[in-house]
Each structure stands twice: as structure tokens, then as C-alpha cells.
Amino acid sequence: ERRIERGLTLVPPDSVAAGRLLPTYGLESGRWENDYGKAQGAFERALAIAQRESDVDLQMRTLAAWAQVDYFHLHLAESLEKSLLVVELARYTDNLPLKVNGHLHALQTLIHLGDSENAVEHANAALAAAERFNARQWLSNVLRCGVNLYRFLGDWDQARELASRNLAVEFNWVPL
């Protein structure tokens, strides 16, 4: 976080460069420092820059990071709202990582809110996007959340299938 904080002193405060640093700064402030207020300020600044510049990817990155911090602080309704905005904005871009992120965080939040019908919809969308993106870490995260969902629903066959797929993905994944 100190590096990002230092980087923010080197760029104009309302610049696109600042906008690109602020979501990461907010995420680190909110999750690692447990400072929701500092994170919220960073996200608000980044979102204002993204909207001023009509930068959809920056807007999505900011909302996705903010949704994670909201989730971490148990602001579940706010997390879901931001995740759904990421999913909506993903319609206008080919940014698969952020599309997966939006569906994944919506899925996680919906599980905690007990909305299984919408959770299943986001589980399927997240899995389809993760398979298209073809990044093992994202696919593993989606599969693991899917296992949790179907376990909570009592659909043990689906939970076992996703768990088997997740083991295959993780078994073949060797970090560098």
C-alpha cells in the first residue's frame, strides 16, 4: 500500500493515472488495513475519474474492488449492487476477468443472502465466462464457489461434479 500511496503523490490527483492506482489503493486499505472510510474515499475518487473519462474498464475495476471491500466488511447489499453493475458494464466490453469477477462476487454475496435462484444464474454465468477466459485461478475460484452453492442447496451430485473439476484444475496448476 505504501508504494501505491507514494505513486499517488507522483501523479496529478484527478488524473487517469491516479484513477488507475486508486482501486488497488482502496482494495488494500479496505481489506488489509481494515479502513473502510479510506477505501471508500479512494473508490469514490476513482469512480469520478472513470465516469469523467468515460473509461468503462476503470469503472468496472473500481466497482469490482469496491464490491470486494463491501463484502469483506459485510455490506452485502452494497457488494451485490456493485457486482451487478460490473456485470451490466461487462456487456459493453470484452474484459473477461472483470466479467468473471462481477459474476463471482454476485454469486458469493447471493449465497450469503440466501438467494439461491439468482445465485445459480450467476454461478452458470461465472463458469461460462471463466471457461472462456481460460485462466486456472479464476476457474478454480468459480468452481469452488459453485461447490459451496450446490452443497448449500443439497444438490450433492452437482457439488461433487464441480469439486472434481476443481481438483483437476488445481492439480494441474503449478504456480511459477
- On the question of pLDDT at 31 being above 50, the answer is yes
pLDDT range class, residue 1, cuts 50, 70, 90 = low
- On the question of pLDDT at 176 being above 70, the answer is no
- On the question of pLDDT at 83 being above 70, the answer is yes
Q: Cα 53 to chain center, whole Å?
A: 22
- The pLDDT value recorded for residue 169 is 86
pLDDT range class, residue 174, cuts 50, 70, 90 = low
Q: What is the mean pLDDT of the chain?
A: 93
The C-alpha cell that represents 114 in the structure block: 440466501
- Calculate the alpha carbon distances from 10 to 6, 7, 14, 15, 162 in Å: 7, 5, 12, 11, 46
Q: Which residues of 53-85 are buried (b: 16+ CB within 10 A; e: fewer)?
A: eebbebbbbbbbbbbbbbbbbebeebbbbbbbb
58-62, 76-80, 92-96: range with lowest mean pLDDT = 92-96
Please write the tens of the pLDDT for every residue from 85-134.
Answer: 999 999 988 899 999 999 999 999 999 999 999 999 999 999 999 999 88
pLDDT range class, residue 175, cuts 50, 70, 90 = low
- On the question of pLDDT at 32 being above 70, the answer is yes
How many whole angstroms separate alpha carbon 129 and alpha carbon 104? 10
How many whole angstroms separate alpha carbon 78 and alpha carbon 75? 6
How many residues in the chain? 176
